[in-house]
Structure 1
Amino acid sequence: MKLNLNIEPLENWLTAKNQPLLISGPCSAETEDQLLTTAHLLAATGKVSVLRAGIWKPRTRPGEFEGIGSIGLEWLKRAKAETGLPTAVEVANAKHVEEALAAGVDILWIGARSTVNPFTVQEIADALKGHDIPVLVKNPVNPDLQLWIGAIERINKAGITKIGAIHRGFSSFEKSSFRNEPMWEMAIQLKTLCPELPIINDPSHICGNRELIPYISQKALDLDMQGLMIESHLDPSVAWTDAKQQLTPAAVNELMERLTVREPESQNEAFVDKLAELRKQIDKIDDLLLQKLGERMKIVEKIGEYKRDNQVTVLQVNRWDEILKKGTAFAKALKLDEHFTEKFLELVHGESIRLQTEILNEGKATQEGIAAEQHAEVKA
């Protein structure tokens, strides 16, 4: 089901100097000289569309640098006047919104820690009523698509039509090479529900280190995201916040030079015809896969009935280990990704467990249901 949002196309409210759209600037505005120098170096690349800077910094623990505060807005205003770049800042409450608007900030964004809290988002939405300013909404810290959608809807209902999303990855307890797991499927689901919604990728916060930024940036563009938000500092080694994930302006320029920008569609007739032919082949295979899954689940139902009649438990760990080992070995021979194979087998096995559990408890559930109805009738 598609989302019912009133959204203006990105090109109506933000014209990128080059493609893809690039929002860049320091994680935190530290000093006036640091911000202005970084801004001029970024502007000189000719590749930056918007200058970003953290003015208020929500930190994980107290005592860390929490942003220079309102004075940084004056520095940002000067940077805009000297470079011609529009500006963007993060806002986390109504006061931030009011001060940013008064300072002439061009774009606001809502951070991951704010998106996770509907009360905070609603406060920001209320402060935005009556204003015509672009707002970007980062995904929540935790992987919750409904929270992300809800935040976007709240801002949209406040009358903001120039709205976009920022994909910055999600917190995970599992150890990973990334600071925040990309979980690309979440951004893809959001785009599927609202195709007109611009989505910008934030490789800085996904990676947490500058070495991985090129890889994530290219993947984001290959998934047809509209642009990138990359943190940049004139000297990352002395940055007051997130030093490891910031790039120098020169490195930002080099990164943009190396990225390959592909079109979402092609007008080449031969390409279109060949793609349609290959997609037909995929459709046929998908139909066969679903047919075979249906046949498999019919056998699962018979197994469930047999286990029920013989008082045997649903889960038998040895059998699951056998399926997993055999399946991953066969998949490896077919050159299928091991992680994908495990996830697929887990999904199929999970549905098999669900069906068998339902069958084993079918009679019991019916008896409990009849007893509950009889009890209700007696009470009545």
Structure 2
Amino acid sequence: MTDLQSILPEEKGGMHPIIIAGPCSAETEEQVLSTARELARNGVKIFRAGIWKPRTKPGGFEGVGREGLPWLAKVKEETGMLTATEVATRQHVEDALAAGVDILWIGARTSANPFAMQEIADALQEAGKDVPVLVKNPVNPDLELWIGALQRLYNAGIHRLGAIHRGFSAYGKHLYRNMPQWHIPIELRRRFPNLTLVCDPSHIGGKRELVAPLSQQALDMGFDGLIIESHCDPDCAWSDKAQQVTPEVLNFILNTLVLRDATVTTESLTLLRQQIDELDNELLEVLNKRMRVSREIGQYKKEHRMPVLQIGRHDEIMQSRARLAEEMGMSGEFMRNVLSAIHEESVRQQIEIFNDRTR
């Protein structure tokens, strides 16, 4: 996917950051148009609204369906905004394109399903329209599955592609509705630097008070834009009311965001980066020494018929090192993740020793 293009028409391609805003669901024509008018007055150029809404359990509001597509057409006619909606089936694609929807996005449940993705890719290829498509990350933290969804569309001739980072599902109660796991979209950007990368702070946070800080964090990490849920009366929304903001609040958030200039490199920053490079080299040297000791431990265990895994020792290291990291001002969870990776490599190397009959 080396020849990816901007998701926006040329005359709108200069917008930075890209802002896509609108209600989680299109509920009524009045609600859609009222929200769109306020957003347009505040300078938003792309209006989003869910026409079909996938729900976890049956019986909830699953969107107004194709009945709402003419409402999006009215939004475009009256405000000049581009329109965007989610599609999950061939029929959705056909209906949305027939109604003149400008941008399609694919939800997290759909992007995790290769059969559904191929159906959508085939429908777009048969339609033969140059429509931009944004793909949300799968519900589970699987980068290859995300890339596979994008590649199916690319192979169907859709080169105006973008990715939406909406976070990843996790069991239990957390600060966020979906865990950010920023390293996954960052790795996606590293592999495909020309891919438009958009953050969905509404779905990551799940609470409207988290929209602003998550938006700033995404822009600080070089995201190209934001897709934010905005409703004229969020507390009465038919879906996801807790994470939607009014157009007025959205305007305030957007006006307080700080945009970084990624092209600016100062002499001081260069020197600091040199220090990082040197420290990384030192880290590698220390890790190499640690692995050398681990291999010696593996040899000792082999000679004395001891098992590779020593669970009590592992738990003790994890707990003590995490506490020490917190005392140093680092995250204990970060240190546990680092130690887990180091432990996994140590075990791998010790198993190699166990399997080596020459030792």
Once the 2 structures are TM-superposed, how far is the Cα of residue 358 of structure 1 from its aligned partner? 2.6
Are residue 148 (structure 1) and residue 146 (structure 2) matched? yes
Measure, in 2, the Cα distance between the counterparts of 1:14 and 1:188: 28
Structure 1 match to 2:212: 214
Cα separation, 2, equivalents of 1:226 and 1:306: 53
Aligned equivalents of 1:322, 1:13: Cα separation in 2: 58
1:163 is aligned to 2:161: yes
Alignment-mate amino acid for residue 122 of structure 1: Q
| Match in the other structure for 1:287 | 281
Deviation, 1:330, is 3.7
Structure 1 position 332, deviation (Å): 3.6
**1:293-325, Cα deviation, whole Å (9 max, x unpaired):** 112111111111111111112222332244334
- In structure 2, the residue matched to 1:45 is 42
2:263 aligned partner? 265
Inter-CA distance 70–320: structure 2 relative to 1 (3 Å threshold): same
Let me know the Cα RMSD of the aligned residues.
Answer: 1.7
Partners of 1:90 and 1:111 within 8 A in 2: yes
TM-superposed deviation, 1:102? 1.0
Where structure 2 has 5 or more consecutive residues not aligned to the other structure, the ranges are none
Partner of 2:241: 243
Q: How does 1:105-254 map to 2 (within 5 A)?
A: 105-129=101-125, 130-254=128-252
Give CA-to-partner distance per residue, 1:175-206, whole Å, 9 cap, x none.
Answer: 31111111111101100110000100001111
Shift in Å, 1:17: 7.7
Which residue identity lines up with residue 191 of structure 1 in the other structure?
R
Give the C-alpha shift of residue 274 in structure 1.
Answer: 2.2
Q: Name the structure 2 match of 1:372.
A: none
Q: Aligned-pair distance for 1:98?
A: 1.0
How many Å apart are 1:355 and its aligned residue?
1.6
Residue 87 of structure 1: aligned partner: 83
1:191–1:197 Cα contact (<8 Å) kept:
yes
Higher-Rg structure is 1
Q: TM (normalized to structure 2)?
A: 0.94
Answer with 33-42 or 17-26: which moved more. Answer: 17-26
Q: Distance in 1 between matches of 2:238 and 2:14?
A: 30
Residue 333 of structure 1: how far off its partner (Å): 4.2
Q: Does 1:27 align with 2:24?
A: yes
Deviation track 1:136-192 (CA, whole Å, cap 9, x = no partner) reads: 111111111111101111111111111111111111114311111111111011001
* Matched AA of 1:261: L
Q: CA deviation at 1:361?
A: 3.5
How do 1:340-355 and structure 2 match up within 5 A? 340-355=334-349
